[in-house]
Amino acid sequence: MAGNGNVRGPRCIALVGPFQGGKTTLLEAILARTSTIQRQGTVDAGTTVGDASKEARHHKMSVEVSVATANFMGDDYTFIDCPGSVEFVQEMRAVLPAVDAAVVVCEADERKVSQLQLIMRELEDLKIPRFLFLNKIDKADQRIRETLKLLQPASRVPLLLRQIPIWKNDIITGFVDLALERAFVYKEHVPSEVIPLEGEDLTRGKDARFSMLETLADHDDELMEQLLEDIPPPRDKVFDDLAKEQRDGLICPVLIGVAPRTNGVLRLLKALRHESQGIAATAKRLGIKGNDPVAYVLKTFHTAHGGKMSVARVLSGQVGDGTTLNSPDGEGGRVSGVLKLVGQVTEKRGPAVAGETVAFAKLEHAKTGDTLSAGKQPHKAVAEVATFPPVLAIAVSAKDRKDDVKLGVAFNKLHDEDPSLVIHHNAETHEVVVWGQGEMHLRVATERLADRYGVAVERRQPSVGYRETIRRPIAAVRGRHKKQSGGHGQFGDVVLDVKPLPRGSGFSFDEKIVGGAVPRNYIPSVEEGVIDALKHGPLGFQVVDLAVALVDGSYHAVDSSDMAFRIAGRIGINDALPQCNPVLLEPIHTVEIVCPTEATAKINAILSGRRGQILSFDTREGWSGWDVVRAKMPESEIGDLIIEVRSATAGVGSFTFKFDHMAELTGKPADQIVAARRAAAAE
């Protein structure tokens, strides 16, 4: 086969694709085909190398990356099996910068096309060369050309069919390799067998090969001429073009197969071997010069026993036991063990060289997405991995208060591993709020807290940031605190004016004391008392947008004190506010939803149903077939919005939101909120 483009050396390949397309099963098939494992397990039986965590097995889906290194024809390949669920897509995003190529595993399912498009975009934007592995062709019920037509809109570059199926009685029994011009019949769990290419398969193969060559010729004038003049192009030239155009991301070659039966896997491995680029090209893409050790952390794991493990690809130089690796900000740590990974099975090994993907043990400072280096100056980050903005939150607390500290430590670890899981401490409500990418993402996070870190948690809806304000001013309200029976007494007496301020003004305090009615040194205490009282207004919430003025008062030469004036200030406000026509305020956010155009009408209906006020809808810039809808919406309605948005968009719709303003809320909804607050306070 063609020689000049061939790459030798360790490769790193991501297995990506829409939810449940068969990535983990394909990894298993690859490991079986390369004899890395003796028996090919299945996802359904929970016996695969990938998805070995308790959470993945339990949910029968990938919830984090699985990593396995195999040897094929003398070269090492590390496969990174990424979850397909949109809720775990951060895992894939962090992996992609350092891989040589991605195998996009996909089935012929119309409902998966938008997801496929999202994944293709990530790859296209990062310039990661890619193959498409059309899996589950045992279930195919339409011609391959139709399938390609269905999937093509998801890719900006041509999906280039490299194989066509051989059908017998509506079942696919083998394939014609269009580059090799050879026919194969599938065998279960053993390599396909060559059969004579004849009859209808020969004709179909010729036609399909011609289309393949035509697409290749778009970027090769010489090939174009040969086609026009009916000269059969040399086989080597075809392979060279396939390799070159794949590496340059000009085409996405399509191979077909059935992962659980290992069908199509050998051809896929051969395509990777001959066509995928290697570390030299990847290092160049990442801007690496020289030979100093540089590694990129695809994923850090805090294992239950072995401490921390960082899966990293060495991009240049060599990293071994004892190498000190620094982050771009100069934080350093020593590698304490280099491991080869086949799923959960680890094996100690020697130093890793450029191209190899291994796990470094006990690098405490490493985080997913970090660039680590051992040169004189820390190497700058080779990739900035943007985190997906969070869309769903829960409030959690340790079931046992004694576990609070453990909970904090565990959360830090989870965030290290997965930056799309964000923990926020709400100082006002004292809630620990966990933000993530969806229900399953948050569920898996709490399961890990229990399974891995032994912290059982309770989960609740996080509180909405309600406030209250007043609608009417009041003048000269007295606040008087007096205790003068026996011993040292207490005396404070203030007169306050209270008036509403425009929305968003917050709080202001003023004093207009004349003639020392309240001595100057007590005035700050009065303000403190006022602030105390504003924390819980008559409706139970923080009171905002009002001005309080201290206008008069009196004091006692012996019994007055800071504390007495503070209490007086509090009493004054507590008396004043109920007379000021208090009203509830709820936070309103601007929400921006992105969705495929066919779902826009549904999204508009969802927004209206949730008291949303639609501001605009437009086509999404740079995304053909997508819209963006903007609306103003109450925070209380955003809480579980993502669930409806996903179900209206086959999982691909998402949104971001930003606080806009506080708005008055009256009537029954307000009464319910106030009643709930009272009930909670009484508990």
Ligand X SMILES: Nc1nc2c(ncn2[C@@H]2O[C@H](COP(=O)(O)OP(=O)(O)OP(=O)(O)O)[C@@H](O)[C@H]2O)c(=O)[nH]1
Contact residues for ligand X, defined by CB under 6 A: 19-25, 42-44, 61-62, 83-85, 105, 135-136, 138-139, 258-260
Residue 327 interaction partner, one of ligand X, Mg ion, none, beta carbon < 5-8 Å per kind: none
Least Å distance, CB 173 to ligand X, is 15
What is the closest distance, in whole angstroms, from the C-beta atom of residue 22 to Mg ion in the complex? 8
The CA–CA distances, whole Å, from 580 to 254, 447, 573 equal: 71, 48, 10
Q: How many CB atoms lie within 10 A of CB 580?
A: 22
CB of 447 to ligand X, least distance (A): 16
Contacts of 149 (CB under 8 A, 6+ apart): none
DSSP state of 580: G
361 in Cβ contact with 306 (< 8 Å): yes
Give the interface segment with Mg ion, choosing from 19-27, 30-38, 271-279, 506-514 (CB under 5 A).
19-27
Of 136 and 570, the one with the shorter C-beta distance to Mg ion is 136
Q: Which does 135 bind (CB under 5 to 8 A by kind): ligand X, Mg ion, none?
A: ligand X
Pick what 581 binds: ligand X, Mg ion, none; C-beta below 5 to 8 Å, kind-dependent.
none
Nearer to ligand X, 91 or 177 (CB): 91
Give the C-alpha distances (Å, rounded to integers) separating 116 from 5, 21, 185, 260, 390: 29, 10, 29, 21, 21
Tokens of 247: 């590496």
- Picked from Mg ion, ligand X, none, the partner binding residue 253 (CB below 5 to 8 A depending on kind) is none
Nearer Cβ to ligand X (46/232)? 46
Taking the complex as a whole, the smallest distance from the CB of residue 259 to ligand X amounts, in Å, to 4
Judge whether 114 and 650 are in contact, CB under 8 Å: yes
Query: What are all long-range contacts of 379-384, with beta carbons under 8 Å and residues at least 24 apart?
Result: 379/288, 379/292, 379/294, 379/328, 380/328, 381/328, 382/97, 382/98, 382/286, 382/287, 382/288, 382/294, 382/296, 382/315, 383/97, 383/98, 383/286, 383/296
Confirm or reject binding of residue 23 to Mg ion (CB under 5 A).
Answer: yes
Q: Name residues contacting Mg ion, limited to 61-80 (CB under 5 A).
A: 62
Count of residues that bind Mg ion according to CB under 5 A? 3
Q: Please state the length of the chain.
A: 683
Residue from 331, 327, 357, 323 nearest 342 by CA: 357
The one of Mg ion, ligand X, none whose footprint includes residue 355, by CB under 5 to 8 A per kind, is none
CB 30, CB 40: distance < 8 Å: no
d(CA 370, CA 384): 9
Q: How far is the CB of 42 from ligand X (least distance, A)?
A: 6
Nearer to ligand X, 43 or 645 (CB): 43
Would you count residue 20 as binding Mg ion (CB under 5 A)? Answer: no
Q: Which does 174 bind (CB under 5 to 8 A by kind): ligand X, Mg ion, none?
A: none
Residue 580 Cα to chain centre, angstroms: 46
Task: Between 209 and 448, name the residue whose CB sits nearer to ligand X.
Answer: 448
Of the pair 610, 646, the CB lying nearest ligand X is at 646
Least distance (Å) between residue 14 CB and Mg ion? 12
The SS3 of residue 494 is strand
Beta strands, E only, 317-449 = 318-319, 324-326, 332-334, 338-342, 345-349, 352-353, 357-361, 371-373, 392-398, 422-426, 431-436
How far apart are the C-alpha atoms of 673 and 652, rounded to whole Å? Answer: 33
- Which among Mg ion, ligand X, none contacts residue 139 (Cβ within 5 to 8 A by kind)? ligand X
CB 617 within 8 A of CB 630: yes
Provide the minimum distance between the beta carbon of 27 and ligand X in the complex, in angstroms, as a whole number: 8
CB–CB of 132/159 below 8 Å?
Answer: yes
Tell me the residue nearest to ligand X as measured from the CB.
84
**36-65 residues near Mg ion, rule: CB under 5 A:** 62
Q: Figure out which of the listed residues 14, 24, 308, 670 binds Mg ion, where binding follows CB under 5 A.
A: 24
User: Of the two residues 42 and 412, which places its CB atom closer to ligand X in the complex?
Assistant: 42
Backbone angles phi, psi at 215, to 5 degrees: -65, -45
- Nearest approach, Cβ of residue 438 and ligand X (Å): 13
Region of 17-25, 120-128, 298-306, 397-405 interacting with Mg ion (CB under 5 A)? 17-25
Partner from ligand X, Mg ion, none binding residue 138, C-beta < 5-8 Å depending on class: ligand X
At closest approach, how far in Å is the CB of 345 from ligand X? 19
Single-letter residue type at 638: I
From ligand X, Mg ion, none, interface partner of 294 (C-beta below 5 to 8 A by class): none
Q: Which is nearer to ligand X, 237 or 443 (by Cβ)?
A: 443
Q: Which of 90, 97, 93 is nearest to 63 (CA)?
A: 90
**59 vs 482, beta carbon nearer Mg ion:** 59
CB of 139 to ligand X, least distance (A): 5
Give the nearest distance from C-beta 112 to ligand X in angstroms.
Answer: 10
Looking at beta carbons only, is 49 or 160 nearer to Mg ion? 49
Q: In terms of CB distance, is 23 or 308 closer to ligand X?
A: 23
22, 106 Cβ separation under 8 angstroms: no
CA neighbor of 435 nearest in space, from 121, 660, 657, 594: 657
Q: How far is the CB of 15 from ligand X (least distance, A)?
A: 8
Q: Which is nearer to Mg ion, 24 or 327 (CB)?
A: 24
Contact partner at residue 44 from ligand X, Mg ion, none, CB < 5 to 8 Å by partner kind: ligand X
Contacts with Mg ion, residue ranges (CB under 5 A): 23-24, 62
